[in-house]
Amino acid sequence: GIQVEQSPPDLILQEGANSTLRCNFSDSVNNLQWFHQNPWGQLINLFYIPSGTKQNGRLSATTVATERYSLLYISSSQTTDSGVYFCAVVRLTDSWGKLQFGAGTQVVVTP
């Protein structure tokens, strides 16, 4: 199956700092999503971004499909940004939408 690697595994930020999370994948994809899992366990959709760049408030994401990676940018971080960020992909050759998740990046934003 497709391998999804996220880095770094853990990140500690001071409020107001910027950060970049990375997702590498081992095969061509036709679906890539970024999720935020908050401390209560809820999974929140951030971006659907199999290619290109998108922005939503303080968050933005870029996927370079030809080089098999995606980046999630958090600017001016807030304590509410704490949680785990997951990247998940669907391999291009899959005939259905099986999302393969990475192990996540645990983010802690301190006041």
Partner 1 sequence: DADVTQTPRNRITKTGKRIMLECSQTKGHDRMYWYRQDPGLGLQLIYYSFDVKDINKGEISDGYSVSRQAQAKFSLSLESAIPNQTALYFCATSDAKGGTDTQYFGPGTRLTVL
| Least Cβ distance, residue 34 to partner 1 (angstroms) | 11
| Least Cβ distance, residue 32 to partner 1 (angstroms) | 10
Q: Which residues bind partner 1 (CB under 8 A)?
A: 31, 33, 35, 41-43, 45, 48, 86, 88, 90, 96-99, 101-104
d(CA 107, CA 98): 26
d(CA 27, CA 58): 29
State the SS3 of 2-36: CCEEEECCEEEEECCCCEEEEEEECCCEEEEEEEE
| Identity of the residue, 48 or 76, whose beta carbon is nearer to partner 1 in the bound complex | 48
| Least Cβ distance, residue 78 to partner 1 (angstroms) | 22
Q: Which residue do the tokens 């958090």 mark? A: 74
| Least Cβ distance, residue 55 to partner 1 (angstroms) | 17
d(CA 88, CA 73): 16
| Identity of the residue, 76 or 93, whose beta carbon is nearer to partner 1 in the bound complex | 93
Q: Is residue 86 within 8 Å of residue 64, measured between CB atoms?
A: no
| Identity of the residue, 83 or 104, whose beta carbon is nearer to partner 1 in the bound complex | 104
| Identity of the residue, 58 or 98, whose beta carbon is nearer to partner 1 in the bound complex | 98
